[in-house]
Structure 1
Amino acid sequence: MWETVVQQYSKTFSSEEITKSIQQAKVETMRKIIRCIVDEQIYPVKITKTGYCINLFNGIANYDANHSIVKFENDVIEDPLIFLEQCLERKTDHPTNHPFILEIENHLIHQSLSYLHCSHVPKSAHPILSGDQWVITGHNIHPCSKTKLGMPIQEVMRYAPEYNQSFKLNWIMVKKSLLFNNLCDDHMEKLKAFSEFDGEISDDYYLVPVHPYQYQYELASIYESEIKENSIIMLDHQGGVVKSTSSFRTVCPLDHTFPMIKLPINSQMTSTVRSISNNSVMNSKNISTFIDEIYEHDPLLKTISSPMAEYGGMTYCHSNVLKQRNLSFILRENHAKALQGKSMYTATCLFERDHTGTKIYQQLINKSQLNPYEWFENYIQLLIKTTITLMTKYGVGIEAHMQNISVCFQQGNPVHLFIKDYGGVRIDISRTGNRLKINEGHTHATTSSMHEKVQNTLISNHISTIISHLVADYPLEEMALWKIVCLYIQQVFEQLSKEQIPWLDDDFCIFNAKTLKQKALMSMRLTNAKNDIYIEKENPLYVYIH
């Protein structure tokens, strides 16, 4: 049983504390699974007074939202794993061995441990890390938000951001002929200084940072032949003190003068192995330069948001995907100095709870002395203006979900956004006027795939999550909040109409359609789909726009 594993790593806590954390993990995970079943229409569902009635075909399951339990036939089910086995009984002959069951089991272990070990851990004073370390429950809607498949539990507790542990990076030397490198000399020098390595580096080698987990568990087996040939030299050296950001694999130096580093980690987190592709490295610098130029010439955008620059990196150009994706890194702007006098949170952390049980965003609303409607207006105004302007005026579909947007607050009031990680952006090259050259791949997008990315991440993920919390925590009307969203979307398009943009109406149509596209996170795990699956969902904006 997974609860036994939690107990093994919680010897310093009382049985009551352990039981409480396990129960919290069950409640949160069951809530996310039920939400996926309902939103993705995985099974026929009817709304009841207390929750949902779900037809699993082998029986009727009644979910009680007030108590986070499922009543199935004569049983009361609290454990999401047991419930999932019932869900999967008709889909597979071996439901207990289904990959999704294993992922949820792993998630439940780490979710319980995060609640137990990290809920009361003091946060870093670092202006970037202090807001990121609240990531106790992880991804706001993904049912596998704490999954770390293949990674030993003690290593998760060593490197996960919520544990607030500092560590030093490992360093290796790699023959230059193996690597694509688009870093400038200045960043190469900074990287060398950050490494604290004072040994000799041959002219035909690069010094490369490696995550300690990757160094200890992955490199020797993946690059056995390269190590034997001395194409890769495993240095017995650690240097450069860092802590993990909310994304786990992106680490932040404690010294503000050095860039952040996005590193590959060969472990499945949520639904993806967190390695880094050739294209991500090769495109990062060009995309970043292109977006920086947009901001330099658009004073309105510059006042409300900032892109976190990516300076490029290195990647192993090899036909073997495992080899190429596990020897890559990207340097990213360290913007700590820009946060003086402000607080910043990765958006997904805003709905975590402090030691008093109060959600972070509620603290911020109280501090701002605004009412919840006013605070919400200030927040979504920044988000909507930034996302739609970048898409419609410049052809850049950012990932506007809560993991890639950080929000800066002054006295609790949202005043600025930071956009991070360009690996998931969708750029409509037909709108860039030949000013951007990037490799073929997901980023090199069609208009429809750019629309899909923006619609899903902005509306279905980010704004929907904020509204669901506001309605749950304050006496607010959900449709009144969606009306505010609608008004700001219309306002942005009215402002952009002065620019004589030929595709303006086409872009507006993705917000006034009867349905919205939402990523089907659980369906993708049940089918083991390699590409994203989207479902059509009723558009709450439709009634106001029409």
Structure 2
Amino acid sequence: MSTTLTGVPPASADPADHRTAPDPLLRPDPALAAEHAAVECLLRCWARETGASPDAEGVLHVPVLGGAARLAAPVRYWSPCGWHRFGPVGLLTASGADPVDAVTAAALIAGAAGERPGAGQVADLAARVADSVGRTTDILGHRRTTPATDAGPFLRAEQALLLGHPLHPTPKSRDGLGPAQGAAYSPELHGSFPLHWFAVDRELLAVGSAAGRPAEEITAELYGRPDLLPPGTAALPLHPWQAREAALRPAVARLLERGLLHDLGPAGEPWHPTSSVRTVYRPGTPWMLKLSLGLRITNSRRENLRKELHRGTEVHRLLESGLGAEWRAEHPGFDIVRDPAWVGVDHPTLGDPSGLDTVLRQQPFGPADRAACVAGLVAEQPFGRVDSQLAGLITELAARAGRPEATVAAEWFLRYLDAVVLPILWLDGRAGIALEAHQQNSLVLLDAEGWPVGGRYRDNQGYYFRASQADRLSARLPGIGDASDTFVPDAVADERFAYYLGINHVLGLIGAFGSQRLADERVLLAAFRRFLAGPRAAATGSALPEHLLHSPTLRCKANLLTRLNGLDELVGPVASQSVYVGIDNPVAGA
């Protein structure tokens, strides 16, 4: 794709050259700003998944209604990495031009996407877009009028994804969550809530622990009143939405009626939802909880699968077997946020997922640690100007040092590659474990000034054990993969690793730098090439650097087509959970 077009300033242009018109994300009415944000996401998806680019006048055209009309989007910024920005979008027909809302744009783009989706899928997409727009409206309205809370750096970044994934057609859809529930359960609205507790008869109790102590002992402490537990039971924490919904399921209702489950109700201090919505955090406790949540959030219902629970304890044991010490010797600033224990319910009538399984995740950060979710760090904050926490960091560092922001941004990016990306490449090349390290799964650790010094990965779903390394991994931990179903063919690991780390994570970071006018994307792409071609990346043994350097195209997850195919990305074989398409590789072309 061309990145320097007539009417479309290059990434290195001065912001004054291409901000002559007000940014639509800054419209005072949060509903109008949310509509525009949604249309931008749809257009980014369509451009990526079809290979479309603007015309010579700097306008992106989407032919719709069989060519009888077209959507016309003036380009404010065209990103080599996909984080494009657009002006107000219009629908052009023979009778003239009209503004277009997000739901109409979604239906039209769905028909132009080339998949010939059924009417049900188009309607489903339109409904989810409408839901996403409504929630974004609430979020912007709240955040523009509510003072910032003193949440600390970790929670502040978890609450920062105001507009959601920039390349997802329905980034804020949470199908089934009512307005009052949204206020309590949404991180962007500063939500918090007490957990809902069940007591599980020990005949039904299912647990796993590599934490050095029983999982049920940990949950009893979190409950805080073990004396109130019925005899012979263990405490099970649940999301309050899930507890109400699960109690209506016939199998769960029967267990409650028979006294094998006991509904203890809400108890304890409030917990805060993090960026995934279902993982919750409470300052001062050494545990976070990854709760089952049957809501459709973006593409999937978020209930824990039993193999994922086994995967969390398995990875913890694997790292404790010596692999973690080898990794830290090379990269002392990086680690995995461990999921070493879980608690749930076993009964033949429940199935998998049961909706009643909870992960116990270690909480490794102290109040002074500057640990930030990468997706939250780069997320747009449309208040007065379109900024991000990343932009704030770069501005502060540049002002403190008296250096140009673009120079500081390039140095920050290079330090980030060493602190966060290099250790992930090492784990792939040296251990045969590719991480699903997209931006929301990845945390960056910052020093007191704001420079990257380390990182963490989190997510018991997102591990790909390479089949070619099965013998080496089994020698480290006999029986690995038997319960967790984590081994995949190398070709699948290659595709997913290149997308999640290469495209979503690093190219997404470069796109954020560019679209927020912090740096020239072409400069950062060249810097990324030098990093990939350097001796430290080569020494990891990962094949990803060579692939990113030399492949003219990359396999990329197509979120719009995945949605139009009605896929739940947590269901079915790994190789077919999402739609992937080929895109031009901006790294090879840099």
- Using structure 2 for the length normalisation, give the TM-score: 0.81
Kept after mapping to 2: 8 A contact 1:132/1:345 = yes
After TM superposition, the structure 1 = structure 2 runs for residues 251-290 of structure 1, keeping only pairs within 5 Å, are 251-256=280-285, 258-290=286-318
After TM superposition, the structure 1 = structure 2 runs for residues 9-408 of structure 1, keeping only pairs within 5 Å, are 20-41=29-50, 47-56=55-64, 57-59=66-68, 60-66=70-76, 67-73=87-93, 74-88=96-110, 91=116, 94=119, 98-119=123-144, 120-183=146-209, 184-185=212-213, 187-202=215-230, 204-221=232-249, 223-256=252-285, 258-292=286-320, 293-317=322-346, 324-337=353-366, 340=368, 342-350=369-377, 351-353=379-381, 355-357=383-385, 358-369=387-398, 371-408=408-445
Question: For the structure 1 residues 391 and 206, does the alpha-carbon distance in structure 2 shift closer, same or farther, using more than 3 Å as the test?
Answer: same
Letter matched to residue 414 of structure 1: P
* Structure 2 equivalent of residue 426 of structure 1: 464
Question: For the structure 1 residues 318 and 397, does the alpha-carbon distance in structure 2 shift closer, same or farther, using more than 3 Å as the test?
Answer: farther
- Which has the higher mean CA deviation after the structures are superposed, 114-123 or 412-421? 114-123
Letter matched to residue 471 of structure 1: G
Letter matched to residue 582 of structure 2: E
Question: For the structure 1 residues 374 and 18, does the alpha-carbon distance in structure 2 shift closer, same or farther, using more than 3 Å as the test?
Answer: closer
Whole-angstrom CA distance in 1 between matches of 2:587 and 2:349: 46
Kept after mapping to 1: 8 A contact 2:107/2:125 = no
Deviations 1:442-469 (A, max 9, x none): 6322211211221001121112222222
Kept after mapping to 1: 8 A contact 2:35/2:101 = yes
Q: Secondary structure at the match of 1:239?
A: strand
Kept after mapping to 2: 8 A contact 1:261/1:332 = yes
Q: Which runs of 5+ in 1 are unaligned?
A: 1-16
**CA shift at 1:173, angstroms?**
1.1
- Which has the higher mean CA deviation after the structures are superposed, 267-276 or 371-380? 371-380
- Which has the higher mean CA deviation after the structures are superposed, 269-278 or 190-199? 190-199
**CA shift at 1:235, angstroms?**
1.4
Q: Secondary structure at the match of 2:289?
A: strand
Question: For the structure 1 residues 93 and 139, does the alpha-carbon distance in structure 2 shift closer, same or farther, using more than 3 Å as the test?
Answer: closer
Letter matched to residue 468 of structure 1: G
Letter matched to residue 151 of structure 1: L
- Which has the higher mean CA deviation after the structures are superposed, 114-123 or 409-418? 114-123
Bigger relative contact order, structure 1 or 2, given CA contacts below 8 A and separation 6+? 2
- Is it true that 1:448 corresponds to 2:474 in the alignment? no
- Is it true that 1:415 corresponds to 2:453 in the alignment? yes
Kept after mapping to 2: 8 A contact 1:304/1:382 = yes
* Structure 1 equivalent of residue 580 of structure 2: 534
Whole-angstrom CA distance in 1 between matches of 2:354 and 2:331: 34
**CA shift at 1:95, angstroms?**
7.2
Q: Pairwise CA RMSD of aligned residues?
A: 2.7
**CA shift at 1:418, angstroms?**
1.4
**CA shift at 1:51, angstroms?**
2.9
Kept after mapping to 2: 8 A contact 1:169/1:241 = yes
Kept after mapping to 1: 8 A contact 2:334/2:454 = yes
Deviations 1:400-451 (A, max 9, x none): 2111011122212122111111212211153243124124666322211211
Question: For the structure 1 residues 47 and 399, does the alpha-carbon distance in structure 2 shift closer, same or farther, using more than 3 Å as the test?
Answer: farther
Q: Secondary structure at the match of 1:173?
A: strand
Kept after mapping to 2: 8 A contact 1:306/1:417 = yes
Question: For the structure 1 residues 94 and 128, does the alpha-carbon distance in structure 2 shift closer, same or farther, using more than 3 Å as the test?
Answer: same
- Using structure 1 for the length normalisation, give the TM-score: 0.87
* Structure 1 equivalent of residue 505 of structure 2: 462
**CA shift at 1:212, angstroms?**
1.3
- Which has the higher mean CA deviation after the structures are superposed, 226-235 or 106-115? 226-235
* Structure 1 equivalent of residue 533 of structure 2: 490
Letter matched to residue 511 of structure 2: S
Deviations 1:291-312 (A, max 9, x none): 3542312335442312111122
* Structure 1 equivalent of residue 11 of structure 2: none
Question: For the structure 1 residues 236 and 94, does the alpha-carbon distance in structure 2 shift closer, same or farther, using more than 3 Å as the test?
Answer: closer
Whole-angstrom CA distance in 2 between matches of 1:521 and 1:92: 14
Kept after mapping to 1: 8 A contact 2:54/2:75 = no
- Is it true that 1:480 corresponds to 2:523 in the alignment? yes
Letter matched to residue 53 of structure 1: H
Deviations 1:350-391 (A, max 9, x none): 233275533211111122236221111112222320221111
Kept after mapping to 2: 8 A contact 1:176/1:206 = yes
Whole-angstrom CA distance in 2 between matches of 1:307 and 1:505: 21
Kept after mapping to 2: 8 A contact 1:192/1:207 = yes
